[in-house]
Amino acid sequence: MKNKVWDSVGNTPLIYLQSVSEMTGNHIYGKAEFLNPGGSIKDRAAKGIIARAEKDGSLQPGGTIVEGTAGNTGIGLITLAAERGYKVILTMPNNQAQEKYELLEALGAEIVAVPPCPFKNQNHFYHQARALAAGKPNSIWADQFENTANCMAHYETTGPELWGQTGGKIDILVSAVGTGGTLGGSSHYLKERDKNIKVVAVDPTGSGVYNFVKNGAFSGEGSSITEGIGIMRLTQNLAFANVDDAIQVSDQNMMDMLFHLSKQNGLFVGTSSALNVYAAYKIGMKHQGQGKNIVTFLCDHGSRYASKLLNNKWLDKMELHPNSLV
């Protein structure tokens, strides 16, 4: 059997998070998306986007994929594009973890790093990618935020996997929002199977999803060190979501959970993963001792951010000092 990198996306294990489960008296699970070939949940979106472009003929042999990304979608794209003969050009904000740039270069991606700026500014990495693709023959703009191949990949794979792995016994689904693809596709699928599943969106400070779910308008104050998470607009992928509630998590609480998982569960996960699990933990505490099945996503591995997360000088600069959850 000749399984390719392409075939290895998905079917990730669902890990029982023993420490936080015992602390809350519930059953908290994390889907180990860091075990995808490109190391993150974004491999699913990348595969969906490439597959749709191949099917509709917009991506031709030897073509180029252009995308604006905080890193993980770009890594997913170049990981899957390599064996299919495509080139990848990525526009990225220049303040992401150094490991991401180094990995992308090692994989052969061309990187255009730009200063961070508000989305409405045409110098934003999202708009820069669109402009690059428009001016390059035989290329496509992946457009992970508005391209619904993203959420459909989760509707067709992630949702069914969760349903099967839990035997259809899910009480609460918890997910952060970057493009809205994961939450959109997974929540839509699961709600079709059981309308009683509660779906909770997770937001870092500075993002507008929490206020959108609670009050119907995108707004947020502050900022967050989380990379690739948080938006201030309703994307086509997020519009596909079926959400009941939202929870906001501070960077400090996220860091507390990140190092708790590392020391208590042997899982050194990335910031979005820790954000998800802290939210699941807080929800579990509200339902303490009720034996709820709470499912979330371990989006990527912490080694992708080691130059920040394991750098005491950087942590001091950010005024982040991990504490015990108890």
Please tell me whether residues 184 and 311 are part of one structural domain: yes
What are the tens digits of pLDDT across the range 102-150?
999 999 999 999 998 888 889 899 999 999 999 999 999 999 999 999 9
Q: Each residue of 245-275: pLDDT tens digit?
A: 999 999 999 999 999 999 999 999 999 999 9
User: Could you give the CA distance from residue 222 to residue 181 in angstroms, rounded to a whole number?
Assistant: 24
Q: Are residues 56 and 20 in the same domain?
A: no
pLDDT at 1 over 70: no
Given a contact cutoff of 8 angstroms between Cβ atoms, the answer to whether 178 and 207 are in contact is no
Which of residues 81, 110, 141 is at a domain's end? Answer: 141
Q: What is the pLDDT of residues 301-311, one digit of tens each?
A: 999 999 999 99
Domain identity same for 171 and 277: yes
176: which strand partners?
202
Residue 267: give the domain boundaries. Answer: 5-36+158-317
Does 134 share its domain with 268? no
For residues 166 and 17, state if they share a domain.
yes
Residues 173-213: pLDDT tens digits? Answer: 999 999 999 999 999 999 999 999 999 999 999 999 999 99
Residues 137 and 172 both lie in one domain: no
- DSSP for residue 164: H
245 in the same domain as 129:
no
Is residue 322 domain-resident? no
Residues 59 and 108 in one domain: yes
**What is the reported pTM?**
0.95
172 in the same domain as 130: no
Does residue 245 form part of some domain? yes
How many domains in the chain? Answer: 2
- Residues 64, 21 share a domain: no
Judge if 70 and 213 occupy the same domain: no
Assign residue 72 the CATH number of its domain. 3.40.50.1100
Per-position b or e across 51-64, b if 16+ CB within 10 A of its CB: bbbbeeeebeeebb
Within this chain, do residues 111 and 132 fall inside the same structural domain, yes or no? yes
Residues known to be catalytic: 42
